[in-house]
Amino acid sequence: MATTADIKNGVVLNMDGQLWTVIEFQHVKPGKGGAFVRTKLKNVTSGKTVDRTFNAGSKIETSNVDRRDYQYLYQDGESFVFMDTSDYDQLSVPGVVVGDAANFMLENQNVTVALHEGEPLYVELPASVVLEITYTEPGLQGDRSTGGTKPATVETGYQIQVPLFLEQGTKVKVDTRTGDYLGRVND
């Protein structure tokens, strides 16, 4: 058991059987009354964010979450297979845990997988990835009704909005958190 003095950014708390990561914390000592710790917590599995206040010195339960580097190998039905880059062990992660990260993962790409007691919690990608456009309609000059963008399918099968001048075979940088086009990448 830990106390509120152990609260830091990135610490994982076990509350009511769920895991929460500390995003922000602030120790507050008002002039009157007891000190307390104000925190902003993010649910590890659902991503939901809540504010929670703890009395100073109260006991909290921390959990050990192991973040390791893995290489994405292939998709096997509903699961995704990753290889630990340190000992070459393979890990099968269910599609529901991978979630939207599947839209941006290419084979042999390095990712971070968070594990708690051997169970995968989530897959973390770099902030942006480079993907090739596999299909897009030719952009018509003068067509500005869509704000100068058109849909394009990238090599993972995910569809993003790109500027009209981009063509099939162009490599683009994509934000993995929002799916937004960030720019063209020259080889």
Please report the pLDDT score of residue 83 as a whole number.
Answer: 94
Does residue 31 carry a pLDDT above 70?
Answer: yes
Query: 177-185 — which CB contacts under 8 Å span 24+ positions?
Result: 177/127, 179/100, 179/103, 179/104, 181/149, 182/128, 185/130
Calpha distance 34→56 (Å, rounded): 7
Does residue 143 carry a pLDDT above 60?
Answer: no
Say if 2-63 and 66-124 have the same CATH topology: no
1/86: higher pLDDT: 86
CATH 3.40.50.10860 for domain 66-124, yes or no, is: no
Please report the pLDDT score of residue 90 as a whole number.
Answer: 92
Task: Please name the fold of domain 128-185.
Answer: OB fold (Dihydrolipoamide Acetyltransferase, E2P) (2.40.50)
Q: Where are the domains of the chain?
A: 2-63, 66-124, 128-185
Residues 34-52 pLDDT 10s:
899 999 998 887 778 999 9
* The model scores a pTM over 0.75: no
Does residue 148 carry a pLDDT above 80?
Answer: no
Residues 77-135 pLDDT 10s:
899 999 998 898 999 998 888 888 889 999 999 999 888 888 888 888 888 999 999 99
Please report the pLDDT score of residue 141 as a whole number.
Answer: 62
Calpha distance 113→61 (Å, rounded): 22
Residues 47-75 pLDDT 10s:
789 999 999 888 989 888 888 899 999 99
Q: What are phi and psi of 68, to 5 degrees?
A: -130, 155
For 2-63, CATH gives 2.30.30.30
